[in-house]
Each structure stands twice: as C-alpha cells, then as structure tokens.
Amino acid sequence: MSVKDPSNKVISLSRRRDQKSGKPGASSNSKRRDRARVIAITSGKGGVGKTNIVANLGYAFTRMGKKVLILDADLGLGNLDVLLGLAPRFNLSHVIMDEKTIDDILVEGPGKMKILPASSGIQELTNLTREQKINILTQLDHLINDIDILLIDTAAGISPNVMDFNATAQEIVVVVSPEPTSITDAYALMKVLSLKYSEKICKLLVNRTARPEEGREVFRQLHLVTDRFLDLNREPAHKLKIDQNKLQNCRSNILNLVNVL
C-alpha cells in the first residue's frame, strides 16, 4: 500500500501531504486539520541512534510548547517505550488485531508528549497488509487534529512497512552514521524513496560523529552520489546537539538538550 495510490481510502494525513507538495485535490476546509506537521525519522541501517533522536526531538518540541505525538512504527522491534521507561499494557499489535483502538493504547511520556507504542518480537507485524496500514492511518487521522507535531519512528531498512510510513509524512529525516555500511544503506533508502515513491527532498541527520568535520564528510559523500544518480534534493537537518555526559537516564523522564537549532 502506498498513500499515493489514488485507490486508497482518503484520509487527511495524505491530504495534508498533498497540500504541502501542491498536488491537486488537497483539502483546505479546515485550518485546524492542516496544522499538524508530520515528520518521519528513518534510517537505512539500524544502530544509528534513530529512536534516541526521536525521543529527544519529541521532548524538545514539547519544551517549545508544541503538542507532540510519537508513533513507534518499528512494529516488530519497537523499543521507544523502553527507552522512555514506560510500561504500556497495550500496543499497536492490539490495534492491528482489532482488539483495541489507538485511543486505548495511548500513553504519556516526558513533557506530556503522547506515545503510540509498538510491539516487540512479533514477526507477523513486520509486513502489514494494505488494510492493516489503512486501519492505523485512519485511526491516527482523528488524533492528529489535536496535535502540532506527529513524529513517526520507522524501522530501519527498505521494507514495505518502512517505505509506506515514510510516504505518509510531509518531511523525511534520514539518520546516518559515519560507518560505511550506514552510508551505503542510507543511499539505498533514499534511492527507493526517489525512484519508487517520487520523493524529491530528504533531510540528512548525521549522528554519532566524533567531530563536526566527520558529519560534513558524510553529507558530502551522499551529496555526490545522490546528485549524480537521483532526482533528489538533500538537505542537512537542523543541528541536534546532545551532551551525552549530561543526558539523564530516560527512566527519570528528564532529557537534557544542550541546543536545538
């Protein structure tokens, strides 16, 4: 399932995306319905600190007075709730199996941000059917009217689940580390987004660098190959500077951000 498929059920998440891109058929009936900013945080390779970045971004937005909802879309190996020290009774697996609604599984995290937790260790959820994805997005649609920011923490890689959640967002942030395999997999992810999903813009966030020059070199390498082979505009994401020495244990519900520019 792709949210760009016109045969799909129309929901305002996809209409909001169409409005940003200037596509015909965008809805303008309600300013409130179009105010939420939908950002997918994704990566080609696991282990780049993506979920930690999502948690910190979510908390940073709450400190700016924003109402934040985080969807843990790593459906088979979700661990955002663990990172934040939460212990939800229910998760998205119960929604997918029609046992609970999204309202039933919603939990509160640091800064009063809302979390939709994923399951862990359920292989069947790594490859959802079209109907299951539509069910999740349709239920999300009614929550999104009451928030300012929706952050989607995708799984790593280029599976259909990952790509479809990315395609739902207005903005896509690709997290990459200086490791050669991470750079290669980030390019593979952007290649699929460009060629199969017609994405034109991806933001890059280079994480786990020892010094600023290392991050700039990663961006330069990816710029060279994407500029040559893809019709894709790469933008450096806003700098997220986290002092790892001062970062408190997430279980205390305190995330200390040094600076978000």
Bridge partners of 73, per DSSP, are: 154
CB 45 within 8 A of CB 186: yes
CB 165 within 8 A of CB 17: no
- Count of structural domains, the chain: 1
C-alpha torsion angle, residues 139, 141, 146, 147 (rounded to 10) = 100
Q: Domain for residue 180, yes or no?
A: yes
pLDDT digit string (tens) for 116-131? 999 876 767 777 888 8
Percent of the chain with pLDDT over 90: 47
pLDDT digit string (tens) for 164-210? 999 999 999 999 999 999 999 999 999 999 999 988 888 889 998 88
Matching residue, tokens 């896509």: 172
Over range 97-125, report the average pLDDT.
Answer: 89
Q: Domain for residue 143, yes or no?
A: yes
Task: Return the pLDDT at 120.
Answer: 74
C-alpha torsion angle, residues 204, 209, 213, 214 (rounded to 10) = -80
183 CB-near residues (< 8 Å, 6+ apart):
176, 218, 221, 222
Residue 243, pLDDT above cutoff 50? no
Q: Could you count the other beta carbons within 10 Å of the beta carbon of residue 51?
A: 25
CB 34 within 8 A of CB 228: no
Over range 83-99, report the average pLDDT.
Answer: 91
CATH classification at residue 85: 3.40.50.300
Q: Which alpha helices (DSSP H) does the chain contain, by range?
A: 12-21, 50-63, 80-83, 92-96, 102-105, 130-143, 160-168, 180-195, 212-229
Q: Domain for residue 8, yes or no?
A: no
CB 259 within 8 A of CB 241: yes
Q: On the CB side of 124, how many CA atoms lie within 13 Å of its CA?
A: 6
Q: Domain for residue 11, yes or no?
A: no
Q: Domain for residue 99, yes or no?
A: yes
For residue 72, how far is the Cα from the chain centroid? Answer: 8
Which amino acid makes up residue 48? V
Q: Domain for residue 228, yes or no?
A: yes
Chain mean pLDDT for the chain: 79
Bridge partners of 42, per DSSP, are: 174
**Whole domain around residue 139: which residue ranges?**
37-260
Q: Domain for residue 134, yes or no?
A: yes
Q: Domain for residue 14, yes or no?
A: no
Task: Return the pLDDT at 35.
Answer: 67
